[in-house]
Structure 1
Amino acid sequence: MSNSDRLPDYPVNSDLVKRLKCALDAKDEETVSHLICAEVRHVDAVIELANDDWMKDPSAQLPTSVLVGLWTLEYKRELTTPLCIAAARGHTTCVQHLLSRGADPDASPGGRGALHEACLGGHTACAQLLLQHGADPDLLSAEGLAPLHLCRTAASLGCARALLEHGAWVHRVGGAARDTPLHVAARRGLDEHARLYLGRGARVDARNGRGETALSAASGEPGRPEERARRLHLCALLLRRGAAADARDEDERSPLHKACGHARAGLARLLLRHGADPGALDYGGASPLARALQAAACAPEAAPQRTVQALLNHGSPTVWPDAFPKVLKTCAPAPTVIETLFNSYPQLRVSESWREVIPEEVFQMHQAFYQSFFALAHTPRCLQHLCRCAIRKLFGKKCFHLVPLLPLPESLQNYLLLEPEGVLH
């Protein structure tokens, strides 16, 4: 009998469930504890917290997706146990009480066991109690996830430690993505979790179902600035532990492709310093530079010129000259990107017809730059720029390393490294 066919001891319309749901909604922890410890008839009772089976109510207003037949035979039903509720809420005393009365630590009528719930909530004390009472540290949920896969927050570090101490397999793959716990930690920016797993023998370059390593998974996540900082720290850890900087996924995308696709300049520089290939092409024929230029068009406020600058200073091939008008059209709102890329060519013929691809409001917003840009339609580049290009050609892929060693003022070093000035000469 499947979970959806199982008859609950306490259906969704029962008095106890109604009171329990009110207490849960009100975050009345005392009442929740009393109901699951004192009023439920037996410790492994099945409680139905939700049932969206519209077929039970012919008068129900069906959503459009049902009407068009997308979800005709599907509905959501949430079955659980007192132990799962207590573990999910972090009620250590309730968990202890239920276990002492013989509750099954691995019961999972709703697809997840109490240990899954404790890890998901980061409740270490509950997880330890469950493990001490024989909970399976590798129990798979209905989605194929082990408890380690649900250690997804910083607060769950203690849970992860407890699981490993009780024999959880650090190499376990799970879910549709076939992620290992290290993949989960990398994707979430959990460097302490990653350090723990690596210390327990996790393979730093293990692949998931999409061919991603942990480094690739971490590189492909966007997020807020503080999340980016955590993932950068984690990526540095993975690289120190021997992660391959150029590992490709099933689409032939490297971590550098992904970092550039999210305008993550700091990560791009880190990967390049560890030997990532700036000229690598994915299955679609896109280079990291192409991905960086796409990101510039989507998020000009994220300083995408830093990513472009890093790639060019590590030897990335430039855009084919005939394609520059397309770049201009796409990246017009980010003139520092246009400037950085344009300065990587010794001489690129500017056409006044390119003015048509720049929206008028963008031109007016960055008038000083675009006036200097189109002034070059009738003027060759200055000698200083030509000298810059000659030095950069000589240094090649080592520009980033060699330019700072030159006995030059910092302003000239920055000039050689394509630091934007706001106008073109």
Structure 2
Amino acid sequence: MSSSDCLPDYPLNSDLVKRLKSSLEARDEKAVLDLMCTEVKHVNAIIELANDDWMKEPDAPLHPLVLVGLWSLEYKRELTNPLCITASHGHTNCVRYLLHWDADVNAAPGGKSALHEACQGGHTDCAELLLEHQANPNLMSEEGLAPLHLCTSPNTLGCAQMLLKHGACVNQESNEGQESPLHIAAKHGLVDHTLLYLQHGASVDARNRHEETPLSVACGQAQEPHGQEPYLEVCRLLLHHGANANTADEEEKSPLHKACKNASHCLVQLLLQNQAKVNVFDYNGSSPMAYVLQSASFKRECRPHQTVQTLLNHGSQRIWPGAFEKVLKSCAATPEIIGILFNSYSKLRVSEKWREVIPQEVFQMYQPFYQSLFMLSHTPRCLQHLCRSVIRKHLGSKCWSCIPQLPVPDPVQHYLLLEPEDLLL
């Protein structure tokens, strides 16, 4: 019998449940404790807190997607017990009282035990109390998650520490996604959790159901420009502890592919400094360079041209000259990218057809730059540019490390490293 089939001692419409929910919403721990002490029949009573049983109400309007069979008609019913309720709200005194009266510490009437609930809410004192009373730190919920898998926010660090102290398996996989706690920490950008798990022997290159390592997961999550710093720190920790920067997932995407898709320049630099291969291809034949060019138009706030520049200075293959028109069409609103790519060739024939793929409003916005580009259709590149091309060809993938050591002024170094220019000469 599943948890949803159990008959509750206190159904949803009972007076006790109504008063209990009111007390919980008010965060009134004293009122909750009074109810548990004086009115609940026994400490392991089954309480129904919610019920989305669509089949009980024949006249209830259903979502159109339900009617066409795209959603399951199975209902969700939230069954719980006093220990789970009080642990989920961090009511330590209530938890202590229930444990004193022999509440079943590992009962999970709603699919999660009290320890799951405490950890999910970041209630360290409750988690510690439950563990001291023999709560199973590795108990799997109905959803196939151990308590460590529910430590998904910074305020759950204390719970994670308590779990490991009491024997939680740091490499335990979730049932469905086969994710380790380290995958979870990487997914949520939890720097302290990541360090904690690594210090307790977490497998740094463990793979989940999609063949992703924690490093791959973190690189895929670093999407917002102002929220990338925690993921950068997580990746730095993983790499410091021996993570392989080139482990690909089931689609042959490397961490560098994912960092480039997010135009995460600092993360791209970090990966390349840790021997990430710049010219690898996924199952679709796309390189890291292709990924950043594909996402550049909607990642402008991330300054994607910096990623393009970094890839080229680490030896990325340039795009096929015949595809330049396609890149111009998708990246026209980011002229820095166009200039960097164009300057990576010693010579590239400018086609008059290119003008047709640039939106008029974009051309007007960056008119001096694009005018300088089309002027080169009848003019050879300057000697300075040709010298730059020779030097870059000689240094190859070492441009990023060798050019800064050349005894030349900083502006010359910047020029050799393809810093964006206002005009093309």
Match of 1:413 in 2: 413
More displaced 10-residue stretch of structure 1: 19-28 or 302-311: 19-28
Structure 1 CA distance for aligned equivalents of residues 360 and 36 of structure 2: 66
For residue 295 of structure 1, report the CA deviation from its aligned partner.
Answer: 1.6
Give the conservation status (yes or no) of the 8 Å contact 1:189–1:227.
no
Q: Secondary structure at the match of 2:414?
A: helix
SS at match of 2:149: helix
After TM superposition, list the pairs within 5 Å mapping 1:61-76 onto structure 2: 61-76=61-76
**Contact residue 261 and residue 295 of structure 1 kept, 8 A:** yes
Deviations 1:3-58 (A, max 9, x none): 11111111111112222233334444543444344432211111111111111111
Tell me the CA shift for residue 261 of structure 1. 0.5
User: Residues 126-158 of structure 1, C-alpha deviation per residue, up to 9 Å, x if partnerless?
Assistant: 100000001000000111110011111111111
Amino acid at match of 1:400: W
1:225 deviates by 4.0
Amino acid at match of 1:120: Q
Letter in 2 for 1:267: L
1:7 paired residue number: 7
- SS of the equivalent of 1:194 reads helix
Whether contact under 8 Å (1:105, 1:134) holds in the other structure is: yes
TM-fit CA distance, 1:405:
0.2
Residue identity opposite 2:177 in structure 1: A
Distance 2:64 2:266 in 1: 44
Partner Cα separation in structure 1 for residue 213 and residue 92 of structure 2:
36
Matches within 5 A, 1:16-415: 16-415=16-415
Q: Decide whether the 8 Å contact of 2:223 with 2:264 is kept in 1.
A: no
SS at match of 1:65: helix
3-state SS of paired residue (1:78): strand
Q: Deviations over 1:263-312 (max 9, x none)?
A: 10000000001111110000110000000111202222210011111100
Q: 1:336 to 1:34 in 2, by over 3 A?
A: farther
SS of 1:339's equivalent?
helix
- RMSD, aligned CA: 1.4
Q: Distance in 2 between matches of 1:294 and 1:254?
A: 16
Q: How far apart in 2 are the matches of 1:25 and 1:61?
A: 28
- In structure 2, relative to structure 1, the CA distance for the partners of 1:257 and 1:400 (3 Å cut) is same
Gaps of 5+ in 2: none
Contact 2:54 2:73 in 1 (8 A): no
Task: In structure 1, give the amino acid aligned to 2:375.
Answer: A
**TM-score (structure 2 length as normaliser):** 0.97
Cα 1:292/1:224, change in 2 over 3 Å: closer
Aligned-pair distance for 1:224? 3.7
Separation in 1, partners of 2:380, 2:21: 75
Residues 14 and 328 (structure 1 numbering): CA distance in 2 closer, same or farther, change over 3 Å? same
With over 3 angstroms needed to count, the CA separation of the structure-2 counterparts of 1:340 and 1:35, relative to structure 1, is: farther
In 2: Cα distance, 1:250 partner to 1:30 partner: 52
Q: With the length of structure 1 as denominator, give the TM-score of the two structures.
A: 0.97
Calculate percent identity across the aligned residue pairs: 60
User: Unaligned stretches of 5+ in structure 1?
Assistant: none
Going from structure 1 to structure 2, the CA distance change for 1:67 and 1:393 (only over 3 Å counts) comes to same
- Per-residue deviation, 1:337: 1.3
For residues 19 and 367 of structure 1, the distance between their equivalents in structure 2, rounded to whole angstroms, comes to 69
